[in-house]
Structure 1
Amino acid sequence: MLKMRSCSSANRLCAIFTWIYRLLCFRNFKLWFCRLPLLCVCLFLLYWNIPRLTSPEDMDTIYQRSALEAEQSWVETISGEEETVSACSLRHTVKKDNSLRKRFNFLVPLMQWRDSFTPTVWQKLQNASLPYGWKGEADKVIGKTLSLLWHSSTSRLFERNTSHECVRCAVVGNGGILRGSGQGKVIDSHDYVFRVNGAIIKGFEDDVGTKTSFYGFTTNSLKNSLLAYRRDGFKTIPNDPGIRYIVIPAQTRDYVMLAAALQGVPVPSGIDEGDRPSRYFGFNPRIHQFRMIHPHFIQYVTNRFLNSPQMVIYRGFYMPSTGALMLLTALHTCDQVSAYGFMTDNYEDFSDHYYDSEYTPVVHYANHDLKMEGWLWKLLHTHKVMWLYQRQKKTDFTHRQKSAQV
């Protein structure tokens, strides 16, 4: 389709030039004062039509090709081969499926830290703005934050005891499908549990569990969740012992907030100036508690898995949701992944969140493509790369769980 559009544009331009050439050759237009206006028309048509040869779709094709070439350059700079994985790992399933192999690339860097900030990396990330790169960012801001992530543990999501260990992860979204699900104990039985945004636990332990190993957020999603869901019981973000916070660098403010948190000082500048990170992460948080997603990983999963049409229409505004990035992070690090509270085919049967006191429909905003994300989860579930919690029964909103009244 893209080639056909491009060719039709080229054919249209050729027809125009043929028409002009015939006019110029016609005997009544031999005089210079007759040719001059036609030459002006020719120049105008050139100016007007040449940009059309490259339609928005063509430009998007060029962008995708350059992104894949950039991805390949990242992989080529990584030394060594893929790590040895457990016999239960989802990576074996990926390797056996041609379509999955074209999507997954387990060599793409997942986390950014001190040693990932090099002149080469800085140059590679100058072609795209946050969250996909560092274009337009101040190197002092990026460099200062990453210099504080100096310990090698911040380059990995978690440490494996042995290469044969089967690491099971549960990624818990906030979808209304979890209300009345009774999945709490199953969720807590996983080695690691990921949560995002307004992750309310009190009163819903039977449905969502109590364990939190990782909490993923952007500064914007963290603050908005505390503001929007306070009345529902979300007054503080999870602070379980040993918890690790995964920062998604959607804006400059995420780097500034993380640096302030690690230094134990108020935010020095920007939209969050004067804010105290201790309100969210406690006083004197330790370095090993924080991880920061690599911009190139966000670019990679967006291009390979969630390349929505909205990325073209709302370029510079669209990005995968926080939940999607956490689920894709788990799929690139854990051996077995289960997803709870994410989009399913019958999402309209359930409220937006499991803690809604009355039915609230899911709202689709332009910055995320939730339907495409739901399609991806179903695809990966069907191919047995992950397990997606699904059910048919509608949620009863006549009462909250008894524990919520305590």
Structure 2
Amino acid sequence: MRRRLFLLGIFCFIISTILYSKYSKPSADSHLTAGGVDEVDWTNVSAAHEEEDELVEAPCSLRKAARNNVLLRNRFRFSVPVLQWAGSFSKRSWEQLTERAPPYGWKGLPVGAVRAALSLLYSSRLFWRGSPDRCVRCAVVGNGGILRGSGQGRHIDGHDLVFRMNGAVIEGFEDDVGTKISFYGFTTNTMKNALRLYRRDGFTRTPQSPEINYIFIPSDLRDYVMMAAALQNQTVGSGRDKGDRPSKYFGHKPPENFRMLHPDFISYLTDSFLSSHRRTNTKFGHLYMPSTGALMLLTALHTCDQVSAYGFITRNYADFSDHYYDSRPKPLRFFANHDLRMESRLWETLHQSGLIRLYQGREAR
């Protein structure tokens, strides 16, 4: 009898220990704040959702192709969140991202401005796929002169989604570049420079049709401030763009039409795909960042199932003008803040690996 009671006691102790272990420990998705309250770490939650997405993939999944590529698979980390949204801001993310300057982090940015801007963003996803097995085909259209006379317009418009950026002139070039725009990517600086520099070439205003979604690249405080003003349909209240009206650039769009790339995503892309010797240059290293086109193309590569690139730099760039809409031929110019030659080698590698289709002109296939 005593033996049975002894064994029963051991059994009850083991069961109680298991239950205590299971239900009393804090979740792996939370951490303790300074006030002693568990706060969900939304950065990790977003990453977990991305990992869950990998379990259900379209038959044409680009992610699967990347993982099967022996030469490139170690470069890809699909768990890194592509976008910032309201859940991206937390005590932990603030502590981590203030260690790096924009566009790779939040160093030097006022906490109130970042928090206020991100609190207005609803979605953590670039687009909704619909059916899990749907094959989403994306075209990313740069502004390179290689597109002039290309006749690629109908091929571009035949994709499910079309990304454009900066001085995206459409009128007069429909046969070569198409008319469809799903996403327009930019920094506030590149957008305003495009409006100033290419006005005579036909870029008189940013694309504003109802179906367009805007992707901010957070290169500076002004991107957070401009986006916050746009989302609230207000004039910009501070900084370099004080008094500016975002509706002039975006129309009166609802919040769901706005996105902002995540600093962690830009940092990952730069380290894995776009790390240039210019980053360590003592004189100009602080200016270096990937080009707008590079960020848009790699965003598509991490969200779509098939990606075609048009108007990007190729090894025969000297045969074409800088932009397809140049009224007079202009050679491509290289500046210290980007490494376009390095980017061109990456596009060729991705094309040869079958991960993107790069338009290289009528003679090159």
TM-score of the pair, normalised by structure 2: 0.84
2:175 aligned with 1:206: yes
Counterpart residue identity of residue 362, structure 1: L
CA contact (8 A) 1:338 1:386 kept: yes
Counterpart of 1:110? 82
Query: In structure 2, how many angstroms separate the alpha carbons of the residues matched to 1:204 and 1:335?
Result: 27
Counterpart of 2:243? 274
Counterpart residue identity of residue 273, structure 2: F
Query: In structure 2, how many angstroms separate the alpha carbons of the residues matched to 1:345 and 1:75?
Result: 40
String of CA shifts for 1:188-215, please: whole Å, max 9, x gaps.
Answer: 0000000001000000000000000000
Query: In structure 2, how many angstroms separate the alpha carbons of the residues matched to 1:157 and 1:345?
Result: 31
Offset at 1:76? Answer: 9.7
Report the structure, 1 or 2, having the larger helix content. Answer: 1
Query: In structure 1, how many angstroms separate the alpha carbons of the residues matched to 2:162 and 2:261?
Result: 17
Counterpart residue identity of residue 66, structure 2: V
- The one of 255, 260, 264 aligned to 1:296: 264
2:311 aligned with 1:311: no
Query: In structure 2, how many angstroms separate the alpha carbons of the residues matched to 1:169 and 1:201?
Result: 18
Offset at 1:177? Answer: 0.2
Task: Using the aligned pairs only, state the percent identity.
Answer: 58
> Where do 4+ consecutive residues of structure 1 move more than 6 Å?
74-77
Query: In structure 2, how many angstroms separate the alpha carbons of the residues matched to 1:139 and 1:281?
Result: 25
String of CA shifts for 1:137-173, please: whole Å, max 9, x gaps.
Answer: 1110100001111x2xx21100011110000000000
CA contact (8 A) 1:253 1:271 kept: yes
String of CA shifts for 1:23-52, please: whole Å, max 9, x gaps.
Answer: xxxxxxxxxxxxxxxxxxxxxxxxxxxxxx
**Structure 1 residues not aligned, in runs of 5+:** 1-73, 395-406
CA contact (8 A) 1:306 1:320 kept: yes
CA contact (8 A) 2:126 2:303 kept: yes
- The one of 319, 335, 340 aligned to 1:365: 335
- The one of 152, 172, 185 aligned to 1:216: 185
String of CA shifts for 1:4-25, please: whole Å, max 9, x gaps.
Answer: xxxxxxxxxxxxxxxxxxxxxx
- The one of 154, 171, 175 aligned to 2:144: 175
Counterpart residue identity of residue 107, structure 2: K
2:72 aligned with 1:100: yes
Counterpart of 2:323? 353
CA contact (8 A) 2:150 2:362 kept: no
CA contact (8 A) 2:166 2:185 kept: yes
Counterpart of 2:24? none
Counterpart residue identity of residue 270, structure 1: G
Counterpart of 2:349? 379
Counterpart of 2:4? none
Query: In structure 1, how many angstroms separate the alpha carbons of the residues matched to 2:46 and 2:231?
Result: 30
String of CA shifts for 1:220-255, please: whole Å, max 9, x gaps.
Answer: 000000010100111111112211000000000000
Query: In structure 1, how many angstroms separate the alpha carbons of the residues matched to 2:46 and 2:163?
Result: 30
2:127 aligned with 1:158: yes
Q: Secondary structure at the match of 1:195?
A: strand
Counterpart of 2:14? none
Root-mean-square deviation (Å): 1.5
Offset at 1:348? Answer: 0.6
Query: In structure 1, how many angstroms separate the alpha carbons of the residues matched to 2:197 and 2:341?
Result: 23
Counterpart of 1:195? 164
Query: In structure 2, how many angstroms separate the alpha carbons of the residues matched to 1:77 and 1:190?
Result: 27
Q: Which has the larger radius of gyration?
A: 1
2:197 aligned with 1:231: no
String of CA shifts for 1:368-394, please: whole Å, max 9, x gaps.
Answer: 000011000000000000000012669
2:254 aligned with 1:286: yes
1:127-138 → structure 2 map (5 Å cutoff): 127-138=99-110
Q: Secondary structure at the match of 1:79?
A: helix
Counterpart of 1:21? none
2:221 aligned with 1:259: no
Number of residue pairs matched by the alignment? 317
TM-score of the pair, normalised by structure 1: 0.76
Query: In structure 1, how many angstroms separate the alpha carbons of the residues matched to 2:180 and 2:130?
Result: 20
Offset at 1:103? Answer: 0.7
